[in-house]
Amino acid sequence: MTNKILFIANWKMFGDLKSIKSIESVINISKKKRYRKAKIIYCPPFTLLNNFVIKTKKSTISIGAQNCHHEKDPGPFTGSISSSMIKKIGAEYVIVGHSENRSNGETNKQINDKIRNAITNNLNVIFCIGESLSDKKNKKTNSIISKQINLGLNKIEKIDKIIFAYEPVWSIGTGKVLKNQDLKKQILNIKNIIFKKFRKQKAKIIYGGSVNNKNINDLKQISQLDGFLIGGASQNSKKFIDIIKKTIN
């Protein structure tokens, strides 16, 4: 996996065939020497995966899916898509454990199955972890994250294909972000949890939750971060480019 600064765009349930044109400006900057330290990954909805793979073919941009089913294909799972199907279409990444899916009943066991299938199919995994507002209020952040990591990565020995995305649930789409010093402390706590389970292996950690072109100047100061997972602001190419430019410059 790359050692560049990660800018992962999570388009969620947004985008249609017309919106593909809007990423041309991002493709252009990805080709500039000045931004070669950036690794851009687009995670569009399933319906646009193939279009994004084709559109970004001659660039360094990679494509990821936003989820996968926990069972292997083929199987009687109406409406579902497996990690091997995602791989075959040309995507290289998959988001697993996003809080919007956890809140719909996705379990740690299913997350673990998804991650193991994804790795078997040679996909890189963007593994989302993070506490809810009530966890935070009850000072359960570290125990929740520890549980998510231990159960989500059960029977997994190597983490070279995993990107840990710390996304506090209360921060997603709300405009609320931890103060830099608190976020830094939290990232170090997570690194500790990972270190206990996967000694000596280097963990990649990114932050997600209301990242925008204003707060990026603060967030980029956290040297322990390997990049950002960006929802809302990534759907606007001008804002997304601004985030990349401000981080790299």
Residues that bind ligand PEP (CB under 6 A): 10, 167, 172-173, 208-211, 229-233
167 flagged as catalytic? yes
By CB atoms closer than 10 A (0-12, 13-18, 19+), residue 231 is buried
3-class secondary structure, 10? strand
| Minimum distance from residue 37 beta carbon to ligand PEP (Å) | 21
Helix ranges restricted to H, the chain: 24-30, 49-55, 83-88, 99-102, 108-120, 133-137, 141-152, 180-197, 216-219, 237-248
- For ligand PEP, the closer of residues 97 and 198 by Cβ is 97
User: What is the Cα–Cα distance from 175 to 42, expressed in whole angstroms?
Assistant: 21
Residue whose structure tokens are 């990114």: 206
- For ligand PEP, the closer of residues 12 and 198 by Cβ is 12
- For ligand PEP, the closer of residues 10 and 213 by Cβ is 10
| Minimum distance from residue 12 beta carbon to ligand PEP (Å) | 6
The residue annotated as part of the active site, out of 100, 106, 131, 167, is 167
98 flagged as catalytic? yes
- For ligand PEP, the closer of residues 81 and 216 by Cβ is 216
The residue annotated as part of the active site, out of 69, 70, 98, 100, is 98
User: What is the Cα–Cα distance from 143 to 149, expressed in whole angstroms?
Assistant: 10
Residue whose structure tokens are 């994804």: 118
Name the residue with the smallest CB distance to ligand PEP: 231
User: What is the Cα–Cα distance from 245 to 101, expressed in whole angstroms?
Assistant: 31
Contact in structure between 43 and 64 (CB atoms under 8 Å): yes
Task: Enumerate the active-site residues.
Answer: 98, 167
